[in-house]
Amino acid sequence: MNLSNILTRHPVAVVSLAVTLGGHAGITIAQDGDDQYDHHAIDEIVVEGVPLERTVKELAQPTAVIGGDELMKRQAASIGETLSRELGVSSTYFGPVASRPVIRGQYGERIRVLSNGLDAMDASALSEDHAGGVDSILAERVEIVRGPATLLYGSGAAGGLVNVVDNRVLEGGLDEPFSGRLTVGSDSAIGKREGAGEVAFGTSAVAFHLDFFRRDTDDVGIPGFAESARLRALEEAAGEGEAGEAYGVVENTSSEAQGGAAAITLTGTNGYLGLSVSTYDNLYGIPGHHHEEAGGGAEEEAPVRVDLDQGRFDLEGAYEFAELGELKVKIARNDYEHVELEGDEIGTRFNSEGTDARAEFKHRAIGAVEGAFGVQHKDVDFEAIGDEAYVPPSTTQQTSLFIFEEWKPGDRWSVQGSARLESQTIEAPNLPRYDDRAFGASIGLIRTIGDDHSVALNYALAERHPNATELYADGAHVAVQRVERGSVIQGSGILDKETSANVDLTLRGSSSRIEWTVTAFLNDINDYILLAPTALVEDNLQVFEYTQTDARLYGFEAEARIELLELPEGHLHTRLFTDYVRGEDTNTGSNLPRITPQRYGVGLHYTRDQFEAAADVMFVAEQDKTATNELPTDAYSLVSAELSYAFEQPNVFMFLRGTNLTDEDARQHTSPLKDLVPLPGRSLQLGLRYDF
């Protein structure tokens, strides 16, 4: 489908694009370390999730980085909520703790979450009620790739990836013999109290790192009923409405989380070697959980909570070979377990033990060509035990070869190409074995026009393997109120690989007072694996089956920044932003489920010396392009404001932020619980960071 035709079919989209064409580039980025939040530094942050050291504007695929002060101000109880207001990104919001990123309408196994470039290897992609094992509270930065990242990180990144980067392993050694950071924060809507600390000490040759954090939250405060008006009306019409429905709070959403790490890094003339040992524990409630009796009616049970425990080892090293290049090796071993507690009794236990190893060689420039190639191997053993173990034990192995090369034929041209060949096997007891290969390749072009404008075009062909859940699921998935059946269990055999063709077109420009970026994308997917509802009901739960169809997702992201007032001691600018995604089943003409509605907004930002003040409003449109058995979601707006100040001596940064200031009943359409659990109501957030 022609992209111009796509946009002309949507007048609101065209208006939003026209507005943003006046303005500023990329996703909001903050400087790392002690630097103040600097909008003029946009696109100058080096992205670590690619083999070559490139900034955002030097990559053909849309990429964003958030770090420093801005990451601290957006820090939430999950990585999904931390990033949920970034352009092109929403969340699966199963409460504030169990929330994963949704990128351009894709979620679950299509979005890979990495820790320092290696897989998280938790169970969060298996189900929306599972919290992730990666937390950003101690992160230095978070990188987001919008669109398929399969060519560098495997078929699990078919929709995009999030890479959480910390500084536990110190590649360059220590600049000072002792340094550290303390942070504290709070959030009134979820009763959050959190604190974190980290120290680094040693010499330029031997460096040690220690860190720890603790976070507690209460039940989420909301502005009205937990159930949406549409759902309450349907229940009342069916005679199922109940007195005393939850109001003002979402019960069983409190949490207790803590984690920490110890690391050592040895640095020599030609390289470094670092080892990190970390733990992560999270005890949190699952909202709206109940069992359905086989005779009808819902039997309320004791509140269900999840007790998550994770231990992880990360080994990372690099060695510089004279005249040849640099070899970098990363190995992670992860031991993940979470137990679903029904009152004091253990209901279901999920175990995931895995290893992810990656070796990457970045060769010296050969003429105008620079690049890297490597191999990656991942081995994950998964097991679920208990009454709600709807997925059998399985072992998944992936081995991949990949390459990324960049050719610069002139000062204004850059050509980037990559390819990946991946072999995957999945084995489950007494079930057919999956064994296949997937291939992907991409080509990207970047052309600078003058000193202030550029255009980037990226085209990718990628294949995605099915996973164990899509093949072998068989039973009640009570947390999301459905029965799931994999293709093998249905008798349909092994699913085919998904094959997608993807196009991204990005335009950037700037002048003395205006900076802007617009990205349009189109993603055509053959044999798209879809969890589709059926007419069958078992134990009062609707049966869903994994099937395949063809799908198309398309849309755009745009952001603009316009300087309104610039003085020697400060400046005032406005920010305009919008994103849009449309998802269609091209075989039936129906809509794909849980697609993010269009969002657009405007903000003001004022800076004077170390003081900053900002306010913005984000409008979220109604989502009425829904799938079968999916209720529409009403439009809403979120108003936010913040104040911050950075002291030089001592080095202290502090902020005060208000979110959802109009106390709107806001529901995330990408959440499977959108009609049961709204977003938090009006909130006041405080934070303080001390660097020493």
Question: Which pLDDT tens digit goes with each residue over 377-430?
Answer: 999 999 999 877 899 999 999 999 999 999 999 999 999 999 999 999 999 999
Q: Is the Cα torsion angle 173, 174, 177, 178 positive or negative in sign? A: negative
Burial (0-12, 13-18, 19+ Cβ within 10 Å), 175: exposed
Instruction: Flag whether 4 is in a domain.
Output: no
Amino acid code (one letter) for 193: R
CB atoms within 10 A of CB 233: 12
pLDDT at 153 (0 to 100): 86
Range of the domain at 299: 14-691
Q: What is the pLDDT of residues 445-467, one digit of tens each?
A: 999 998 899 999 999 999 999 99
Question: Distance between CA atoms of 207 and 264, rounded to whole angstroms?
Answer: 6
Q: What is the pLDDT of residue 244?
A: 59
**Which segments of 107-168 does DSSP mark as H helices, in order?**
150-153
In a domain, 337, yes or no: yes
At residue 684's C-alpha, the angle toward residues 682 and 685, to 5°, is 135
Residue with tokens 């335009």: 507
Q: Which of 137, 150, 143, 139 is nearest to 109 (CA)?
A: 150
- In this structure, what CATH number is given to the domain that contains residue 298? 2.40.170.20
> Domains in the chain: how many in total?
1
Query: SS3 sequence, 351-365?
Result: EEEEEEEEEEEEEEE
> What's residue 22's pLDDT?
36
Cα angle 495, 499, 500 (rounded to 5 degrees) comes to: 140
Q: What's residue 461's pLDDT?
A: 94
Selection from 21, 5, 61 nearest residue 518 by Cα: 21
Asked whether residue 142 is domain-assigned, the answer is: yes
374 in a structural domain? yes
Q: What pLDDT is attached to residue 332?
A: 98
CB within 8 A of 588, min separation 6: which ones?
A: 549
Answer yes or no: is 5 within a domain.
no
Q: Which two tokens stand for residue 536?
A: 């069958």
Alpha helices in 404-476, H assignment, sequence order: 468-472
- What confidence score (pLDDT) does residue 289 get? 57
For residue 413, the cross-strand partners are 410, 447
**Residues in the chain where the model's pLDDT stays below 50:** 1-42, 290-298
Question: What letters, b where the CB count within 10 A reaches 16 and e where it falls short, cover 421-433?
Answer: ebebebbbeebee
Let me know if residue 104 belongs to a domain. yes
Asked if the structure places residue 2 within a domain, the reply is no
Residue entry with tokens 């075009």:
457
Would you state the structure tokens that stand for residue 692, as one six-digit string?
Answer: 């020493």
pLDDT of residue 41: 47
- pLDDT score, position 474: 94
User: How many residues does the structure list for the chain?
Assistant: 692
Spatial distance between the Cα atoms of 202 and 40, rounded to a whole number of angstroms? 35
Question: Tokens 């969002």, residue?
Answer: 599
**481: which residues sit within 8 A by CB, 6+ positions away?**
292, 541, 542
Asked whether residue 680 is assigned to any structural domain, the reply reads: yes
For residue 62, cis peptide bond before it (omega within 30 degrees of 0): no
In this prediction, residue 299 carries a pLDDT of 53
